[in-house]
Each structure stands twice: as structure tokens, then as C-alpha cells.
């Protein structure tokens, strides 16, 4: 039996064996009051955990549930039930796994829990390690949810990153590979009161990698470590070993070889296959953990729009900046009109996408300068690997369609359609995407799918490049929205430049980007 008195921040318990409790409370230096079988104890994160470990039945009495007031910002970020349960869970578990699937809002859940722990003085700062594409997402979420919290993204050279990390803010955000660049700073930066959040933890699958070694050193210095991944089983049992070991090494054998022998069967000299029931073995090691599946969360919005930032390669950046410099003078002189601004905008978009149509070319199938968009493809891989369902990838240029098909077919199995694919060949590509389990990705020009096709088999759309037509954009997005759709849907927008982000914003606001080409071009030329 338990009773919470909020104004005193105390919890009252009636227990059968009070001596068992008082002995441990005395050893821990926790103050209490006792009256027979009744105990009054301060109600906070640490004492709650202690009492729970002693056997007290305290479900639904977690301190965060009792005292935390979720920020109210026009009702935009009111927590859904599963989000609140996730936040409460991690607030009480210093080392934990958040296995909620994509589009369940686990970022906000972890931020609320972190905010609560900061207010209670349990932690003094938060370090978020995530993919490059998600750095901006975490930063934007912090600023959207909390009016009083500060956040900074540690990006740039090693010197710049270190300077940012030395500044006193509530949330520091750094990409996975960035932790190696500043590996010498963690000795002084990290303390037992630092909360370390490892987003997309499944990407730390290789315990032999330098990146994993740095992260492991970081995790051992922190009392609070939360590992987030919606696809913990995607790489098989051996891949799971790496990120489990970061959080719960005591639940694993000492070596990856021993784990492999525990979860897999050798059927040839170099070939292993998973044992029957390996999934349960992995989930038993993934503890403590919480998991909500998007398809089972009834109050989840049916469609979510997400924006993923990518990095230009040095070659892309060089060509992109040169084109901006060349456009600065005629723009200043007034020689750039709405008509030719559109041409220049298309060139900039092509560079960001990885191909540039040459001035003397008549066909963008062949006469192009290729600038492999490695950063963009990395973000695309993160999205595709994050869902078990099929994915549609839209690209506005034929040469980019070709590039994407080659990339996706090699890794996931893919088909493609654009204006070059007609009649029976087009029908066959659509049929294979709909029915072939070995085909996960459809690469398409949005014009070829904007009408007459239904793809309820897919729950994810990725805009690899933006398109300027609002009508085409809306129609293409409707391809996965059907009465037959059983999954929650996500539409991802990849961008690497302010220009691309601005186009997406206009489309989201219901505006034709084409009507604003001159304005967009001016903004991009004048941006740093």
C-alpha cells in the first residue's frame, strides 16, 4: 500500500517487514519516519528505485508521474499515452533501451524525461549522439518543446566542436562519427551526472570499430545512458551484441564469439545461421527496455512529415559555392529575372542531388557531371533501414533516378520508373514492387506515380530531391494513403541546403515554389 503526498514530496508505505526497509535505508543514508509498519520516505528518483528493489509495489507512483508538468505550447506537444509511459520509464532507469518503432515520438519522450531529471538535479547536462541527419531534428525538438532550455550542435572542425562542447548549455548534440574527432575532450566533459543519449544505437554494431571503442569509453563514465533504436533485430544477433554491450554488458558473454555461439548455428566453414528463438535471446539481453509499435498505438497520428538534413560532399560544396559566386554579380545588377532565376535554382538543386546537367547537353541521361552525394545516400540508408515495410523514393531528375536505382538495388532490391519506362515494362515494375518480397524500394520520378497508382504495400515516402509543383507533390504523397493502408505513414524530406529546405517549407504551407524562384534564388545567393 502506498500514498503520495505531493506538497511534501513524500511517499507513505505500509509494509510487512519494516526492518528490511529501514536497514537498507540507513545504509543508503536516506532519511525516513517510521510508525510501526508505516514508513514515510522522501519521494524522488533514487529513493523510488531503492524501494522498488526492496520489493515495494510502486507501479504508477513514479516521481515523474507525480510531479512533472509537461510544457504547454499551444497544445502541440502534449504527450500521448505511450510517450508519457516512455518518459516515465527512462526517468527511473539510468541504463535503458528505448525500442519504440519509427514515428512513435521517442525523441520527445526522452527530452521530457531529461528535462525532469535536470530540474531535479539528478543530471547536470545531456549529450545526444545521433546521425548527421538527425542533429537538426533533436535541436529543433529542444527549441520547440522548451522555452527555457538551451541546445547547441557540435559540428565543424575539431577546434570548433571542442569550443561548442565547452559552452554551458543543457543539451549538446553531436553526430556519431564526430565523437572520434573530439575523443580527447570526453575525459573532462563527461561525469556521472551526464545523461548520454545514443540515438540509432544499432549503428554501433561493431565492437571492433574505433567509433564503438570511443562510445564505450563514454558510456562507462555516465550513470545515465539511454540507447534508442526502433529496429534492434535488423542486423541479426551478432550485430545486436555491439550496442547492447554499451548499455548492459553484464547481460552478455564477454566475447562476441561466445554470443555468436549462443545465438547462431554454424552450418559451413564460414556460414552461420540464427538459432530458432534467437529473437527472444536478444530481447532478454535488451533490458531494461520499453517498446511501443507504431501500428499498435491507437492515438498516433496516421501521417507524419519529417525533414532530414544531409551534408554536401567537399566536391559538391565547391561546385555549389562557385555557382553562387557566379550568380551574385548579375543578381546585384538586376540582370536575374524570374525566368532565368528558375534555371539557376534548378542548377543548384541538381548539384545538391549529385548530378549537374552540362550546359551543352540536350539530354540529362548522359551529359551530366556526377558529384556522388554520399551524405544524402547515408541519410537515405538510415530511413530505409529503419522500417521493415517497403519504401518509395522520389527524385526529380533522370540521372538521379539512375543513381538511386543502382544504389538501392544493390543493397535492398529495387525497381524504378520514370518517363523512360512505359507500357508493359512500367506495369511489370509496379507489379514486382507490389508483390515481390525481395524488392523493398521503388525509385520513381514523381510525375510517373502522381495519379492512378496505389501503394498501400509501402508506408514510407522519401523525397530525395524536392519538387517545385505543389499539385505533383500532394498527389505523389497520396500514393501510400489508402483504405488498405494498415501502418502509420511517414514522409521524409532530405535536404542539404537552405534552398531545398525553403522549397519544402513552401510546399508544406500549400504554396507553389515555382512562383517564388526569384525570391528563393536571392535568399540562397545571399546566404552563407
- The values of phi and psi at residue 469, to 5°, are -85, 120
The mean per-residue pLDDT over the stretch 489-515 comes to: 85
Give the model confidence (pLDDT) of 60-116 as tens digits: 889 999 999 998 764 456 788 899 999 999 999 999 999 998 768 899 999 999 999
Q: Find the mean pLDDT for residues 233-254.
A: 93
340: DSSP letter: H
| Residue-range definition of the domain harbouring residue 414 | 304-310+369-526
> Are 96 and 13 contained in the same domain?
no
Residue 359 lies in a domain: no
Does one domain contain both 247 and 161?
A: yes
In a domain, 88, yes or no: yes
Residues 287 and 200 in one domain: yes
SS3 427: helix
User: Is residue 95 a part of any domain in this protein?
Assistant: yes
d(CA 378, CA 462): 13
* Dihedrals phi, psi of 266, to nearest 5 degrees: -85, 125
| Arithmetic mean of pLDDT over the chain | 87
Residues 129 and 51 in one domain: no
Confidence of residue 362 (pLDDT cuts 50, 70, 90): very low
When pLDDT is cut at 50, 70 and 90, the band that residue 519 belongs to is: confident
Domain identity same for 271 and 378: no
Does the residue 317 lie in any domain? no
Note the pLDDT tens digit of each residue in 22-50: 999 999 898 889 989 998 999 999 999 89
pLDDT at 458 over 70: yes
Residues 100 and 237 grouped into a single domain: yes
Largest CA distance in the chain: 92
Residue 187 lies in a domain: yes
Cα separation, 152 vs 171, whole angstroms = 7
Q: What is the CATH number of the domain that holds 133?
A: 3.40.50.10810
- pLDDT, residue 326, reads 83
Say which range, 201-210, 268-277, 289-298, 370-379, has the weakest mean pLDDT.
289-298
For residue 265, what are the contacts with CB-CB under 8 A and spacing of at least 6? 272, 273, 274, 275
- Measured in degrees and rounded to the nearest 5, phi and psi for residue 181 equal -60, -35
**Nearest to residue 460, comparing CAs of 407, 383, 519?**
383
35 and 103 share one domain: no
Q: Give the residues across from 290 on adjacent strands.
A: 98
Paired sense of beta strands 125-130 and 194-198, if any: parallel
Residue 364 has pLDDT above 50, yes or no: no
C-alpha grid cell for residue 195? 545523461
Going along 425-466, which residue ranges are E strands? 441-444, 458-463
Residues 50 and 184 in one domain: no
Question: What is the per-residue pLDDT for 457?
Answer: 83
Pair (255, 388) in one structural domain: no
pLDDT in tens, 125-170: 999 999 887 888 799 889 889 989 999 999 899 999 999 999 999 9
Average pLDDT of the segment spanning 506-526: 77
Give the total number of structural domains in the chain: 3
- Tell me the mean pLDDT in the region 322-343: 73
**Residue 364: inside a domain:** no
Query: Are both 200 and 290 inside the same structural domain?
Result: yes
Average of per-residue pLDDT across 466-472: 84
Mean pLDDT of 258-272: 89
Q: Which of 244, 270, 300 is the last residue of a domain?
A: 300
Residue 509's pLDDT band (cuts 50, 70, 90)? confident
Same domain, 17 and 104: no
- The pLDDT-based confidence of 304 (bands split at 50, 70, 90) is confident
Q: Collapsing DSSP states into helix, strand and coil, what is residue 452?
A: coil
Distance (Å, rounded) from C-alpha 119 to C-alpha 127? 16
Residue ending a domain, choose from 265, 300, 335: 300
pLDDT at 115: 97
What is the domain-level CATH number for residue 422?
Answer: 3.40.50.300
Are residues 159 and 252 part of one domain? yes
Split at pLDDT 50, 70, 90, the class of 335 is low
Please indicate, yes or no, if residue 463 is contained in any of the structural domains.
Answer: yes
Does residue 375 form part of some domain? yes
Amino acid at each position: 500500500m502506498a500514498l503520495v503526498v505531493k506538497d511534501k514530496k513524500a511517499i507513505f508505505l505500509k509494509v510487512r517487514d519494516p526492518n528490511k526497509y529501514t536497514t537498507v535505508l540507513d545504509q543508503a543514508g536516506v532519511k525516513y519516519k517510521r510508525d510501526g509498519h508505516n514508513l514515510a520516505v522522501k519521494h524522488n528518483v533514487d529513493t523510488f528505485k531503492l524501494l522498488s528493489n526492496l520489493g515495494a509495489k510502486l507501479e504508477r507512483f513514479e516521481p515523474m508521474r507525480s510531479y512533472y508538468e509537461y510544457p504547454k505550447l499551444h497544445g502541440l506537444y502534449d504527450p500521448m499515452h505511450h510517450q508519457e509511459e516512455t518518459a516515465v520509464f527512462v526517468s527511473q532507469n539510468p541504463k535503458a533501451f528505448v525500442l519504440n518503432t519509427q514515428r512513435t515520438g521517442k525523441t520527445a519522450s526522452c527530452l521530457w524525461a531529461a528535462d525532469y531529471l535536470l530540474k531535479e538535479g539528478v543530471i547536470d547536462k545531456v549529450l545526444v549522439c545521433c546521425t548527421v541527419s538527425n542533429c537538426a531534428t533533436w535541436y529543433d525538438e529542444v527549441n520547440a518543446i522548451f522555452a527555457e532550455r538551451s541546445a547547441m550542435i557540435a559540428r565543424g572542425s575539431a577546434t570548433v566542436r571542442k569550443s561548442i562542447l565547452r559552452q554551458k548549455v543543457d543539451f549538446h548534440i553531436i553526430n556519431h562519427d564526430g565523437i572520434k574527432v573530439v575523443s580527447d575532450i570526453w575525459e573532462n566533459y563527461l561525469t556521472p551526472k551526464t545523461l548520454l543519449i545514443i540515438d540509432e544505437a544499432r549503428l554501433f554494431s561493431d565492437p571492433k570499430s574505433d567509433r564503438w571503442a570511443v562510445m564505450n569509453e563514454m558510456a562507462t563514465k555516465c550513470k545515465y545512458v539511454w540507447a534508442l533504436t526502433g529496429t534492434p533485430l535488423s542486423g541479426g544477433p551478432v550485430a545486436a551484441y555491439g550496442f547492447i554491450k554499451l548499455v548492459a554488458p553484464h547481460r552478455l558473454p564477454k566475447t562476441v564469439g561466445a554470443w555468436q555461439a549462443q545465438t547462431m548455428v554454424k552450418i559451413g566453414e564460414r556460414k552461420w545461421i540464427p538459432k530458432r528463438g534467437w529473437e527472444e535471446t536478444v530481447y532478454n539481453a535488451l533490458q531494461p527496455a520499453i517498446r511501443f509499435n507504431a501500428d499498435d498505438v491507437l492515438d498516433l497520428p496516421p501521417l507524419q512529415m519529417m525533414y532530414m538534413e544531409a551534408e554536401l560532399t567537399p566536391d559538391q560544396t565547391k561546385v555549389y559555392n562557385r555557382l553562387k559566386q557566379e550568380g551574385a554579380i548579375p543578381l546585384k545588377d538586376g540582370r536575374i529575372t524570374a525566368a532565368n532565376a528558375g534555371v539557376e535554382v534548378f542548377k543548384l538543386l541538381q548539384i545538391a542531388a549529385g548530378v549537374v546537367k552540362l550546359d551543352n547537353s540536350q539530354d540529362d541521361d548522359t551529359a551530366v557531371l556526377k558529384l556522388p552525394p554520399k551524405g544524402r545516400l547515408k541519410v537515405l540508408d538510415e530511413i530505409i533501414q529503419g522500417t521493415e515495410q517497403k519504401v518509395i523514393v522520389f527524385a526529380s531528375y533522370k540521372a538521379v533516378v539512375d543513381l538511386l536505382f543502382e544504389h538501392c538495388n544493390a543493397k535492398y532490391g529495387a525497381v524504378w520508373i520514370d518517363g523512360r519506362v512505359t507500357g508493359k515494362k512500367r506495369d511489370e515494375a509496379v507489379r514486382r514492387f507490389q508483390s515481390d518480397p525481395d524488392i523493398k524500394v521503388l525509385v520513381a520520378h514523381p510525375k510517373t506515380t502522381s495519379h492512378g497508382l496505389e501503394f498501400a504495400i509501402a508506408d514510407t515516402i522519401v523525397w530525395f530531391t524536392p519538387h517545385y509543383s505543389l499539385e505533383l507533390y500532394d498527389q505523389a504523397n497520396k500514393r501510400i494513403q489508402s483504405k488498405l493502408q494498415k501502418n502509420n505513414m511517414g514522409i521524409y524530406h532530405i535536404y542539404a541546403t537552405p534552398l531545398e529546405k525553403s522549397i519544402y517549407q513552401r510546399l508544406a504551407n500549400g504554396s507553389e515554389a515555382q512562383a517564388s524562384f526569384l525570391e528563393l534564388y536571392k535568399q540562397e545567393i545571399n546566404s552563407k
